[in-house]
A = this chain, B = another copy of it.
């Protein structure tokens, strides 16, 4: 229950990441992670892609999903600055986990079955930063998106 009427409408709506090539990134987020592209906002020099997991009962239309993009939580916004995908001199985006630029860490997807999710990622040829069997933390994995952003994969039932 919100502690203040002033903030009762606040939601942690989205996280924004810049991506070099939306073709690759949309393929990754919609096919590998199975997020849904719920809205696309095209501007002169950039395009915004809003993605989310669809936990509805299937009754929402595409228009209704797009309308909900700012009134729900769990939205991922990908920003594509036009031209980066074909710029041979483009240096790539920092993932936030190396110096300099360290600060942002990762996004995370919680799943009901870590082993099954990781098998699926292996089959899809996803790059792993850390498989569950690597290191000491056997209950989590990290995969990499096309820009090298870290995506933690954690079982919903995991207790840190």
Contact = CB atoms under 8 A, between A and B. Distances in A.
A149 to B, nearest CB: 7
Name the residue in A109, A147, A152 with the highest tally of chain B Cβ atoms < 10 Å from its Cβ.
A109
A33 B3 CA distance: 11
Contacts of A133: none
Interface in A2-27: 2-4, 6-18
Contacts of A3: 34, 36, 54
Interface in A92-109: 93-96, 100-109
A62 interface: no
The 8 closest A-B pairs by CB, nearest first: A101-B101, A9-B112, A73-B74, A93-B103, A104-B104, A1-B58, A7-B34, A16-B105
